[in-house]
Amino acid sequence: MIYRQLFDKHAAGKTVSVGVIGTGQYATAVVTQSAYIPELSVSAVCEVDIDAAKRAYERAGMNDHAVCDTRPQALRAIESGRPVIVQDADLLMELPVDIVVESTGVPEAAAKHGAAAIEAGKHVAMVSKEADAAVGPILKRRADDAELVYSAVDGDQHGLLISLVQWARDLGLHVYCGGKAVGWDIVYDEATGTVSRGSSGPLNLDDPSAFAPGPSERAPALVGRRREMLGRTGVEGYDITEMTIVANATGLAPDVDTLRGPHARIPEIPEVLCPEDLGGILTGREVVECVTVVRGRYEADLGGGVFIVVGCENDYSRHILTSKGLIPNSGDTTALIYRPHHLCGVETPITLLTMGLLGVPTGATEYLPRYDTVARAREDLKAGDTIGTDHDPKLHALMRPAAPAMPGNAIPLHMASGCRLLCDLPRGTVLTTEMVEAPSDSALWSLRHEQDARFAV
């Protein structure tokens, strides 16, 4: 890593001033970690829950903060060295911060805040993946036009995966697949021959031995059997959302719109998630995916981390890849590179310093609306129902090629979330734009229409 050399070269005593919107778990870690980084200052927090904002600063050891209602109040506090708390995002935009970290997780709010920050001449670190998946490309294009930086962030899986894919491509490697681990594992206990999902008790399965360790070349034949016994993949709607951002940022594409989501041991990943002609299960050659990790009771997992399966055209270089610590497939044609952690807001300061000192993102350099996260009903829904989020068990999130948000086309799920359903939606039906009551004054919807027009998707 050469971050320190770059920061020293470009910092010249500068401190990057940051304003954070929202103080959930993620953003609180941005605040707490900033206390240990001399070049970074979280000068302001915007939060409707004042007590939550106070807790974030106090956890960082910043007990002398000021709650402010006006710009003069806030400026006086900042000039005296005190961080400020405001409830109004518009007020935050008037303060002397270089970067706005949007971390509300609310798509409408995040879209509005992102656009307002760019209008105010501030860089945008977009933590709220819900808005990023729907309108990230147009926000980045607006930022580019204004000579500002818009970026996904280190610490979240999609941001880390984008960087990992770009690193491999910069080395001239071919990325057959890039993906992330889902939030829970399948644990095989050799002592008892039983299988558990996450922290649940043993599952009643026909053939638990299908999850036992063995030659990795068996894995492509076993993943279908494992899924058959478990009933479904571990891929959730929010995983689809993150992988939509990765697809838009890297050009990797889903092999199927639900993602395959194989249940695989870590050494099996390069065997399974590679093209069929190399022995894997993928029909494509540059694919985005998720994995449910299968492991022994005392084995390490992927920790919610990210991975890439790579290949190399040159025989000698490929020999290096497969003999110097990477996990190869049985034919030595692919290798696994993985990062077994994502540290949320603790890692995000690298993105903030890169944006503020170097003027570049750690996320996508080219960000195009290639795919959308859309939804299919898992059960019958009724007219008048409020449409849920990518956490809603009534909805099955899908990754589909991006299409304009207009009648007849599947609507991006995060545009529809919170809106009223205008008609009955039978189980198995994909939600389309005309089925949703459009909000009267929505920054998110307006940005999406601008994105559709500008990129002519």
* Beta bridge partners of residue 40, listed in sequence order: 16
Q: Could you tell me the pLDDT band of residue 364, with boundaries at 50, 70 and 90? A: confident
* Residue 184, token pair as written in the block: 């829970």
Structural domains in the chain, sorted by start: 3-155+345-356 (3.40.50.720), 159-342 (no CATH), 371-455 (3.90.1210.10)
Q: Average pLDDT of 18-38? A: 97
1 has a pLDDT exceeding 80: no
pLDDT band at 456 (very low <50, low <70, confident <90, very high): confident
Q: What's the pLDDT tens digit per position in 83-136?
A: 999 999 999 999 999 999 999 999 999 999 999 999 999 999 999 999 999 999
CB 273 within 8 A of CB 261: no
Task: Report yes or no: 350 and 154 within 8 Å, Cβ to Cβ.
Answer: yes
- Give me the pLDDT at residue 47, please: 98
Show the DSSP H helices in 65-211 as ranges: 71-79, 89-93, 107-119, 129-145, 157-170
Predicted confidence at residue 377, as pLDDT, reads 98
pLDDT of amino acid 4:
92
pLDDT value at position 365?
A: 86
pLDDT above 80: residue 201: yes
Taking a C-beta distance cutoff of 8 angstroms, is the pair 109, 46 a contact? no
Provide the pairing of β-strand 287-296 with 263-264: parallel
Is the pLDDT at 386 greater than 80, yes or no? yes
- Quick check: 272 and 215 in contact, CB under 8 A? no
Strands in 333-431 per DSSP E: 335-339, 371-377, 395-401
- Residue range 377-399: mean pLDDT, rounded: 98
Q: Determine the pLDDT at residue 457.
A: 59
What was the pLDDT predicted at 304?
A: 87
Q: How confident is the model at residue 76 (pLDDT cuts 50, 70, 90)?
A: very high
Asked if 153 contacts 348 with a C-beta cutoff of 8 angstroms, the reply is yes
Q: Residue 426 — pLDDT band, cuts 50, 70, 90?
A: very high
What single-letter DSSP state applies at residue 209?
Answer: G
Average pLDDT value over all residues in the chain: 96
Residue 199 has pLDDT above 90, yes or no: no
The answer to whether the CB of 154 falls within 8 A of the CB of 131 is: no
Q: Which amino acid is at 443?
A: A
Percent of the chain with pLDDT over 70: 100
Which structure tokens are listed for 396? 């099955």
**147 Cβ contact partners less than 8 Å away, ≥ 6 residues apart:** none
Which tens digit of pLDDT belongs to each residue from 219-274?
999 999 999 999 888 999 999 999 999 999 999 999 999 999 999 999 999 999 99
pLDDT at 12: 79
Beta pairing, strands 123-126 & 306-311: unpaired
> What is the mean pLDDT of the segment spanning 157-179?
97
Pairing label, strands 263-264, 194-197 = unpaired
Separation CA 221–CA 262 (nearest Å):
11
Q: What residues contact residue 404 under an 8 Å CB cut-off, 6+ apart? A: 452, 457
pTM for the model stands at 0.97
Task: Output the pLDDT for position 360.
Answer: 96
> In whole angstroms, what is the distance from residue 340 CA to residue 90 CA?
38
What does DSSP say about strands 306-311 and 335-339: parallel, antiparallel, or unpaired?
Answer: antiparallel
- The string of DSSP letters for 250-264 reads H--EESSTT----EE
CB 455 within 8 Å of CB 137:
yes
3-state secondary structure of 455: helix
Q: Which two tokens stand for residue 337?
A: 């590179």
How far, in Å, CA of 340 to CA of 307, rounded?
A: 8
Percent of the chain with pLDDT over 90: 95
pLDDT of residue 245: 98
Q: For the chain, how many helices (H) and strands (E)?
A: 15, 18
Whether 139 shows a pLDDT value over 80: the answer reads yes
Residue 42 pLDDT more than 80?
A: yes
Instruction: Report yes or no: 369 and 252 within 8 Å, Cβ to Cβ.
Output: no
Q: Rg of the chain over CA atoms, in angstroms?
A: 23
Burial (CB < 10 A; 0-12, 13-18, 19+), residue 10, is middle
Burial class (CB in 10 A: 0-12, 13-18, 19+), 266: buried
Contact 226, 294 (CB under 8 A): yes
**The predicted structure's pLDDT at residue 219:** 95
What is the mean pLDDT of the segment spanning 343-363? 96
First CA to last CA across the chain, in angstroms?
A: 37
pLDDT tops 70 at residue 163: yes
Do residues 266 and 327 make contact, with C-beta atoms less than 8 angstroms apart?
Answer: yes
- Confidence (pLDDT) at 13: 85
The Cα–Cα gap between 408 and 116 comes to: 31
Q: Token digits for 210? A: 């299908």
